[in-house]
């Protein structure tokens, strides 16, 4: 009654929208890197947007289903296949017992999501299913998925979905999302220590595109920027940092904090990537270029509201299509 890992990937974990409300204890939210794609993937199968999903990096796990399920894939395109036949992202797929899902090649993006109708039968840790790798808690046994793990599905697929005797079925509609795959441009707001940068450093920050280095993971992306000189060496006493915070390290290089970032930090915060661009940022990987553009709060807020409105429309459309399909 599950999703069985028959070969493990490099870093596949259970994630949801994160564990909020405990940062005062040093417990960081974690959660999906790309919550936008994660929510879209859930919506496809009619889940609540924040239901737990499997977040995969490449190379990803190979899974076998031990019973029928309604699933969807979204986020990065890792050229998925079922039983060897290519399947698309952002479609509902009815999979059968013994179907094997695998991923062949990272074509776009860095993280892909698997949602299953009804979610996974796991226990929450501190109000969330997200895997906290450092604490070894949450998600599936507090760790990434390994060979022979069996992630139980919480519910049977709706009785109104008629499965074939064997093999999978891709349902005909696709979520319409606009994802600018090739633009390195990411909007950011100035941070509290932005003014510490020299005029030249500011120009450098805004005019140069930086490469994301291999020292990048779910905690943060290190950039290969030319060291940015700072006008002040006054220590910043530790205080909260956030997903998207761009910190200036003592050697003048930059790190962009991601989902597994620590709760507090003591490096100058020179900028913050706006929330509406977190999804785009999360789909960048080592070797990709990033180009910061400063914006203002008003724009940041407007862009996020537009994104949320689009998600709401998408959710309504997904529910409608799935209901229509089940009536047939």
* Positions that interact with another protein (CB under 8 A): 20-28, 125-126, 132, 134-137, 142, 189, 191-192, 234-242, 244-245, 250, 262-265, 269, 272-275, 297-298, 300-301, 304-305, 308
Q: In angstroms, give the least distance from the CB of 190 to another protein.
A: 9
Closest among 309, 298, 304, 308 to 189, alpha carbons compared: 298
Q: In angstroms, give the least distance from the CB of 130 to another protein.
A: 13
Q: In angstroms, give the least distance from the CB of 123 to another protein.
A: 11
The values of phi and psi at residue 78, to 5°, are: -105, 25
The values of phi and psi at residue 25, to 5°, are: -100, 5
Residues 6+ apart with CB under 8 A from 243: 29, 257, 258, 259, 261, 278
Q: Which helix (H) or strand (E) holds 204?
A: helix 199-207
**CB under 8 A, 24+ apart: contacts of 302-305:** 303/187, 303/274, 303/276, 303/277, 304/274, 304/275, 304/276
Judged by CB, which is closer to another protein: 26, or 229? 26
Judged by CB, which is closer to another protein: 209, or 239? 239
DSSP letters spanning 117-168:
TT-B----BTTB---BTTTTBSTTTTS---TT-EEEBSSPPPTTS---SSS-
Judged by CB, which is closer to another protein: 72, or 273? 273
The values of phi and psi at residue 64, to 5°, are: -125, 135
Judged by CB, which is closer to another protein: 74, or 220? 220
Separation between Cα atoms, residue 92 and residue 73, nearest integer Å: 8
Residues 6+ apart with CB under 8 A from 56: 9, 11, 12, 78, 103, 111, 112, 113, 114
Q: In angstroms, give the least distance from the CB of 126 to another protein.
A: 6
Q: In angstroms, give the least distance from the CB of 122 to another protein.
A: 15
Judged by CB, which is closer to another protein: 182, or 298? 298
Judged by CB, which is closer to another protein: 168, or 221? 221
Q: In angstroms, give the least distance from the CB of 191 to another protein.
A: 8
Q: In angstroms, give the least distance from the CB of 51 to another protein.
A: 19
Cα 298 from chain centre: 25
Judged by CB, which is closer to another protein: 4, or 310? 310
């Amino acid at each position: 009654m599950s999703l069985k890992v028959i070969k493990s990937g490099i870093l596949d974990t259970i994630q949801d929208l994160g564990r909020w409300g405990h940062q005062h204890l040093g417990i960081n939210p974690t959660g999906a890197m790309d919550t936008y794609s994660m929510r879209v993937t859930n919506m496809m199968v009619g889940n609540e947007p924040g239901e737990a999903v499997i977040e995969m990096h490449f190379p990803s796990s190979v899974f076998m289903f031990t019973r029928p399920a309604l699933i969807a894939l979204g986020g990065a395109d890792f050229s998925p296949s079922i039983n060897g036949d290519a399947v698309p992202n952002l479609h509902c797929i009815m999979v059968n017992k013994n179907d094997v899902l695998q991923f062949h090649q990272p074509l776009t993006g860095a993280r892909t999501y698997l949602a299953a109708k009804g979610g996974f039968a796991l226990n929450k840790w501190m109000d969330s299913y997200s895997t906290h790798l450092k604490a070894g808690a949450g998600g599936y046994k507090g760790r990434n998925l390994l060979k022979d793990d069996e992630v139980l599905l919480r519910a049977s697929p709706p009785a109104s979905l008629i499965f074939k005797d064997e093999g999978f079925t891709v349902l005909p509609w696709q979520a319409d999302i606009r994802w600018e795959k090739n633009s390195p441009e990411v909007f950011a707001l100035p941070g509290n220590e932005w003014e510490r940068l020299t005029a030249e450093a500011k120009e450098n920050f805004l005019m140069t595109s930086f490469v994301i280095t291999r020292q990048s993971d779910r905690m943060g992306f290190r950039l290969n920027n030319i060291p940015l000189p700072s006008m002040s060496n006054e220590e910043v006493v530790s205080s909260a940092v956030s997903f998207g915070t761009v910190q200036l390290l003592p050697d003048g290089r930059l790190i962009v904090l991601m989902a597994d970032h620590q709760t507090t930090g003591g490096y100058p915060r020179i900028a913050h990537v706006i929330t509406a661009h977190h999804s785009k940022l999360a789909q960048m990987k080592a070797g990709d270029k990033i180009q910061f553009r400063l914006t203002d709060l008003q724009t940041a807020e407007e862009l996020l509201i537009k994104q949320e409105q689009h998600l709401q429309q998408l959710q309504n459309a997904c529910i409608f299509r799935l209901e229509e399909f089940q009536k047939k």
